[in-house]
Amino acid sequence: MALVPAAGRGVRLGESKPKAFVPVGGRPMLTLAIDGLIASGVVDHIVIAAPAELIDEARFLLGHRVEPACPVPVSVVAGGAERTDSVRAGIAAAPRATHFLVHDAARALTPPSMIARVVAELKSGCPAVVPGLPVADTIKSVDADGDVTGTPDRAVLRAIQTPQGFDAQLLRDAYAAGMHATDDAGLVEAFGAHVRVIPGDPLAFKITTPLDLRLACTLLTVRDTPESADETVPAQDVAAPVDIPAASHLPAPAKPSAGPHNDSASYVRSSSNVPASSKAPSASDVPPTTDFSASTNTVTR
Ligand code: CTP
Ligand code: MG
């Protein structure tokens, strides 16, 4: 089950319509993102959170992909004021999902092979999986006056992308706990769960600014030129998998309420000191040509 937050306004992009509806090379970001999810072969249902006033337009744009005609049914719900509100609306619309992939519509060029790698890692038993890339710039923390307060070691930092994959009950519980984070993985970290990072892909960048949009248009032109197809950067060249420990500075996670689907104990880490080498092999070992269309690799709802 994939949840696609697409209800943002796109303030930084500065176009006249909400960002997910802005065309890239002639096709709206939303359509590109949905087609990438479908092409991955690992998603069995898609729920889009769109701006309330554009639900009908979203359904129109997605045309035959909207259920019941499409083998990967797509439904559209109203998003909310914040991204977390939009994801929450998508979660509520999928009460029977066993796994969630949360994927920004704004990451319109995300390669299907990377989506499949996230799902493969999820199905290997990780409760939370996110793609990430090493950061190229030095990152500094600063105070309100602009004075530097620290320079974290760049080698241990990753810029996190989507789709982010989760055990569905874990994501429901993390949202129900009412904590705050800037991404979905941050919520489950705050909840005390183990999050694994697998190699991301530069093409999964988030289209945020006008420069990003120009880049995306250019890349799409290149991608859709037959002789230059599939120039995805090999995953093993961009980052090694790392584990994000549960946030030690946060209070102990709220105990999830008991319920028929509650298997929270299985995804909350017992220790944050488990060395990465003792983990199961990363899904980054899966070759990009692997056929993920077999039903055993499909994220079921
Ligand atoms: N999103 C959403 N609901 C919101 C805010 C964001 O569904 N209330 C979605 C966006 O549509 C996007 C993704 O979350 O697909 C990532 O958000 P971002 O890149 O910040 O998009 P916008 O919020 O639209 O852009 P901006 O912050 O510049 O306004
Ligand atoms: Mg935003």
**Nearest ligand to the C-alpha atom of residue 107:** 1
Ligand 1 cavity residues, CB under 6 Å: 5-12, 19-20, 49, 79-83, 85-86, 104-106, 206, 208
pLDDT at 114: 98
For residue 81, give the ligand 1 atom closest to its CA: 8
Note the pLDDT of residue 103: 98
pLDDT at position 1 is 96
Q: What are the residues facing 132 on neighbouring strands?
A: 160, 199
Quick one: which atom of ligand 1 is closest to the CA of 105?
Answer: 15
Residue minimizing CA distance to atom 17 of ligand 1: 8
The residues near 201 (Cβ < 8 Å, ≥ 6 apart) are 110, 111, 114, 131, 133, 161, 232, 233, 235, 238
Residue-level pLDDT at 62: 87
**CA 100 to mean position of chain CA atoms:** 9
Q: Which residue among 9, 48, 54, 84 is best mutated to probe the pocket of ligand 1, counting the most ligand atoms within 8 A of its Cβ?
A: 9
Q: Which of 11, 19, 34, 46 to mutate to test the pocket of ligand 1 (most atoms within 8 A of CB)?
A: 19
* Closest approach atom of ligand 1 to CA 82: 8
- Angstrom distances, CA of residue 39 to CA of 34, 88, 257: 9, 25, 37
Specify the 3-state DSSP secondary structure of 94: coil
Please give the pLDDT value at position 134. 98
Which of 125, 120, 112 has the alpha carbon at shortest distance from 38?
112
pLDDT at 179: 84
Choose one of 11, 12, 55, 83 to mutate for the ligand 1 pocket test, by most ligand atoms within 8 angstroms of C-beta.
83
Enumerate the domain spans of the chain.
2-269
Closest residue CA from atom 21 of ligand 1: 8
Q: What is the rounded CA–CA span in Å between residue 129 and residue 164?
A: 6
Nearest residue (CA) to ligand 1, atom 13: 104
131 C-alpha to ligand 2 centroid (Å): 19
Find the 181 Cα to ligand 2 centroid distance in Å. 13
8 CA to middle of ligand 2, Å? Answer: 6
User: What separation in Å is there between the alpha carbon of 234 and the centre of ligand 2?
Assistant: 29
Q: Which of 106, 128, 135 is nearest to 181 (CA)?
A: 128
β partners of residue 244: 195
Smallest-distance ligand from the CA of 82: 1
Q: Classify 2-269 by CATH class.
A: alpha beta
For tokens 């499909």, the residue is 298
pLDDT of residue 235: 44
- 111 Cβ contact list (under 8 Å, min separation 6): 36, 201, 203, 204, 232
Contact 76, 103 (CB under 8 A): no
The whole-number mean pLDDT for each consecutive block of 10 residues of the chain, a chain of 301 residues, reads: 98 98 96 96 96 95 70 93 97 97 98 98 97 97 98 97 98 92 94 96 98 97 70 46 45 38 40 35 35 39 45
